[in-house]
Amino acid sequence: MSRALVLAGHGSHLDPASSRPVHDHAARLRARGAFDEVHVAFWKEEPALSRILDAVDADDVTIVPVFISDGYFVREVVPREAGLSGPVSCVLGKLVRYTRPVGSNPALADVIVQRALEAGAGPSTGIAVLGHGTPRNPGSERNVLFHTELVSKQNRFVAVAAVFLEQEPDMRGVFGLLDTREIVMVPLFVAEGWHVGVSIPEDMAIDRGELRRGGRTLRYSAPVGTHPLVTGIIEELAVAAAAWR
């Protein structure tokens, strides 16, 4: 029986960068060849989540949500649009498995560490893991706090803290939250989209990836979701789901 993998992403009507990492991960997974078919589908772009099975020939399909938060989109929007009833569904005559989101996988903490190291972090650097967060959904922060704790437990950096775009602790208070001379802020986002590329640097007054304040320096890393290591996390989630019936 042939097997298909579908990467489900958010996409955007406004920002072409939003879906790029999902396409990039899909291209790498096609090259690896573990699945007979690899497709992408989006909430806000084409191909749409609601039509993705139109593209699939295989009868055995695994959908991996390429989202950080295990919240509204992962629990409500993607299942509804794709016609899923749970982790294992029968949709249009196909067996469809639906995994947990990329953001729930513990291996993502290693990608945060990699992004911090790439931005020049050392043992004396404070690491700020930047999540979106929202006061409208208390579950939104869960994976950010989860990975912050995992990174902290690795004991590679003197201090690790979570900060947020839309909830407390606010990212703009990062210099008060971490007392290290050097800080690396790692955006726990899927894409280098409008938030990571525009709104956060503007709100934080980050200039060319760096912010200096009173003899202290904050460096702003690339987002976690664009790292090639995330491709392996997606594959791991999909392969682990293969035994579900």
What does the binding site for another protein look like in residue numbers (CB under 8 A)? Answer: 12-16, 23, 43-48, 50-51, 54-55, 72, 76-77, 80-81, 92
What is the distance of C-alpha 203 from the center of its chain? 21
Q: How far apart are the first and last CA of the chain?
A: 14
Buried b (16+ CB within 10 A) or exposed e, 195-204: bbbeebbeeb
Give the number of other Cβ atoms within 10 Å of residue 70's Cβ. 19
Q: How far is the CB of 42 from another protein (least distance, A)?
A: 8
Q: How far is the CB of 47 from another protein (least distance, A)?
A: 4
Cα(9)–Cα(18) distance, rounded to whole angstroms?
Answer: 9
Q: Tell me the three state secondary structure of residue 150.
A: helix
Rg (CA), the chain: 18
The answer to whether 103 and 73 are in contact (CB under 8 A) is no
- Comparison of 54 and 168: residue with beta carbon closer to another protein: 54
- Comparison of 24 and 118: residue with beta carbon closer to another protein: 24
- Comparison of 81 and 141: residue with beta carbon closer to another protein: 81
- Comparison of 132 and 219: residue with beta carbon closer to another protein: 132
Whether the upstream peptide bond of residue 79 has omega within 30° of 0, thus cis, is no
- Comparison of 20 and 156: residue with beta carbon closer to another protein: 20
CA-based nearest residue to 21, from 242, 233, 224: 224
Q: How far is the CB of 54 from another protein (least distance, A)?
A: 5
The answer to whether 66 and 22 are in contact (CB under 8 A) is yes
Q: How far is the CB of 200 from another protein (least distance, A)?
A: 20
Q: How far is the CB of 77 from another protein (least distance, A)?
A: 7
Q: How far is the CB of 14 from another protein (least distance, A)?
A: 6
Cα(207)–Cα(136) distance, rounded to whole angstroms?
Answer: 31
- Comparison of 106 and 135: residue with beta carbon closer to another protein: 135
Whether the upstream peptide bond of residue 223 has omega within 30° of 0, thus cis, is no
- Comparison of 24 and 236: residue with beta carbon closer to another protein: 24
What is the distance of C-alpha 95 from the center of its chain? 26
Q: How far is the CB of 32 from another protein (least distance, A)?
A: 17
